[in-house]
Amino acid sequence: MKRFTDLFLRLDRTNKTNEKVEALKAYFLAAPDEDKIWALALFTGRRPPGVFKRGQLQEWALELAGIPEWLFRESYGSVGDLAETISLILPTSVSSNERSLHEWFRSLIKLKGASDEDKKSFLINAWRQLSPYEVFVFNKLLMGSLRIGVSQTLVIRAIGEAVGQEAAVISHRIMGKWDPLTVSFHDLIHAENSADLLSQPYPFYLAYAIEGELEDLGEANEWFAEWKWDGIRSQLIVRKGQLFTWSRGEELVTDKFPELHPLKTRVPDGTVIDGEILCFGPARNDNALRSDPLRDDRPMPFNILQTRIGRKNVTKKILTEAPVVLMAYDLLEYAGKDLRSETQQQRRSLLEIIVANAQLPMLRLSPLVDFKTWDELREAHKQSRERGAEGFMIKRKQATYQVGRKKGDWWKWKVDPLSVDAVLVYAQKGSGRRSELYTDYTFAVWEGDKLIPFAKAYSGLTDLEIKEVDRFIRQNTLEKFGPVRTVRPELVFEIGFEGINKSTRHKSGIAVRFPRMLRFRKDKPAKEADTLTNLRSILDAFE
């Protein structure tokens, strides 16, 4: 545990990429293999065995620290991290413990199914034997939430350097489904033949937002443009008669989307398709929509797809109300061959054949936008919203399929966000690095002389602005309710959002998507902020 905690602290103490890679590399060179596989699992977001409930951890920590729950909550409000809060309130440990990372995990796994009594005494013993930093890291492991400012790319680079292997190879090997209990570090990383790992997806190629003018990209005829869909970026894999669906979060979501299962027999073996999972019709019984010519070519709003995401059981009702399709836009593997070094154009023509041959409505081809000049493309961009798209993806016809977020060949060009001017009404402290400051805000618009909250946002301000708003909040708190402060309604912000939907869950009757602060409108008094009527008219225009 000490070695892993030291690694954690080294990573935590630097914001320099090279130092992080050095620390990781040193760990992957020195730690025993049994530890490494667990460390890798943690760094790649695999959850350790869930033995404890968060509530239990908190309850036992309170007991040991001798403080009431409300005080714990206040403390948590200042720390912004449960594992860390617990490590700070516990009495300082008196003894120490030499168990290493995998030994702890082994004991944890044994504890599964044990009585709460046994779990409690295990945990209290552990807390007593670990240093405060170790307790913190240990708690993080127990809660399965070890986010430490190290991207997967860095981990891959460090392991690559440590074992003398290309990053892309490592990246592929550690993707997909593997379990630190059954796979050894050696087999996973050094395995020369990863074909047995049938389900492995490829690392996704991600685009940056376009900078400057379209003309800077060169000739228009060197580029494809597709609609940018607002769904779940996914890879669909068919190999050896089996089908796997992966989301970009590297989550295997095959079971969540049974609609896609018939593709197993309708695309050739050894196929990997990159695309977007979206919800499409049935047409709603809405006369206004029935006369809409684009009705069948437009996905349902994202909030409908959202009903599919967190759900364990896919019921019949859900399948009829929110059926999904895969909107295909790239082909990464064909007949078992990795196509990523082929050009976009070549991959696209193969993809068109595969989609056409499949003849299934749940596999759609993401259409290319027809344009000859950049001006034509600019004109077409205006249709994004009515198409139910977020804008364009612009892809170089000669582009290979790259790993991760890269500039140059793929660009996203999103529509400008919708926006209203709203009044800050509630504030809460942030979490993580913002845990001392009030950074999470709720905004409201006017309805008559009442302010109706409609969105929460916590990004978009500069550090200086955050400080200023924080100060205002502290000096203008009308009421405290737990961690939430009601603030004198004076500050106005321009709130941008990507989408807007009706909502029965919100008092305003409206839910906005990806709200963020575009501007601190110091020039605007609260009275002149937008009204709920303004917001409703945006909703009407948008639907």
* Residues near other proteins, by CB under 8 A: 12-15, 65, 67-68, 70-71, 74-75, 78-81, 84-85, 88-89, 92, 149, 431-437, 480
Write the DSSP assignment of 14-36 as a string of letters: ---HHHHHHHHHHHHHHS-HHHH
Q: Are strands 404-405 and 205-206 parallel, antiparallel or unpaired?
A: parallel
Instruction: Give dist(CA 495, CA 515) in Å, integer.
Output: 6
Instruction: Give dist(CA 411, CA 413) in Å, integer.
Output: 6
Smallest distance from the beta carbon of 69 to other proteins, in angstroms? Answer: 12
Cβ pair 220, 392 in contact under 8 A: no
Of 79 and 445, CB closest to other proteins: 79
Smallest distance from the beta carbon of 311 to other proteins, in angstroms? Answer: 33
Smallest distance from the beta carbon of 78 to other proteins, in angstroms? Answer: 6
Question: Amino acid identity, residue 203?
Answer: P
Instruction: Give dist(CA 166, CA 174) in Å, integer.
Output: 13
For 260: left if phi > 0, alpha if psi spans -120 to 50, otherwise beta; the answer is alpha
Of 186 and 433, CB closest to other proteins: 433
Smallest distance from the beta carbon of 281 to other proteins, in angstroms? Answer: 46
Tokens 């020195």 belong to 30
Taking alpha carbons only, the member of 493, 515, 492 closest to residue 503 is 515
Cβ pair 224, 348 in contact under 8 A: yes
Instruction: Give dist(CA 349, CA 331) in Å, integer.
Output: 9
Smallest distance from the beta carbon of 81 to other proteins, in angstroms? Answer: 7
Residue 484: CA atoms inside 13 Å, Cβ hemisphere, count? 8
Q: In whole angstroms, how far apart are CA 491 and each of 210, 431, 529?
A: 32, 22, 10
Of 67 and 217, CB closest to other proteins: 67
Of 288 and 464, CB closest to other proteins: 464
Tokens 């259409």 belong to 367
Of 7 and 322, CB closest to other proteins: 7
Query: Any bridge partners for residue 211, and if so which?
Result: none
Smallest distance from the beta carbon of 137 to other proteins, in angstroms? Answer: 11
Of 414 and 434, CB closest to other proteins: 434
Of 92 and 285, CB closest to other proteins: 92
Smallest distance from the beta carbon of 42 to other proteins, in angstroms? Answer: 17
Of 65 and 350, CB closest to other proteins: 65
Smallest distance from the beta carbon of 149 to other proteins, in angstroms? Answer: 8
Smallest distance from the beta carbon of 75 to other proteins, in angstroms? Answer: 5
Instruction: Give dist(CA 282, CA 280) in Å, integer.
Output: 7
E strands, 248-319, are 271-279
Instruction: Give dist(CA 253, CA 499) in Å, integer.
Output: 25
Of 152 and 477, CB closest to other proteins: 477
